[in-house]
Amino acid sequence: MPDIKTQLTEEVADTEWKDLKPHAQRDALIIVQEPLNLLDVGVAIALDDVQKVQYWIRNWCKNPPQST
């Protein structure tokens, strides 16, 4: 069984707003920007690393786009 980072690497894909909109509407969308790495953030979320994710959200993550 592949480790979580390998699994997420295989699952990362481009997507359209229509697919993200329901998540934004329930405030469950995180916009990842540099210097963060999308895979590192995904791994931390998958492993429920609350401290790390909360720190990133406070310091590095942009507000999600409006869901309208």
pLDDT of residue 67 exceeding 60: no
44 and 60 in contact (C-beta within 8 Å)? no
Q: What is the pLDDT confidence band of residue 1, given thresholds at 50, 70 and 90?
A: very low
Determine, yes or no, domain membership for 66. Answer: no
Determine, yes or no, domain membership for 2. Answer: no
| Dist CA 55 CA 59 (whole Å) | 6
User: Which residue range is the domain that position 46 belongs to?
Assistant: 14-59
Determine, yes or no, domain membership for 20. Answer: yes
The whole-number pLDDT of residue 66 equals 59
31 and 61 in contact (C-beta within 8 Å)? yes
Determine, yes or no, domain membership for 55. Answer: yes
The whole-number pLDDT of residue 62 equals 63
The whole-number pLDDT of residue 15 equals 92
Determine, yes or no, domain membership for 5. Answer: no
Tell me the per-residue pLDDT of 15-64, one tens digit each, with 9 for 90 and over: 999 999 998 888 888 888 888 999 999 999 999 999 998 898 888 766 65
The amino acid occupying position 46 is A
Determine, yes or no, domain membership for 42. Answer: yes
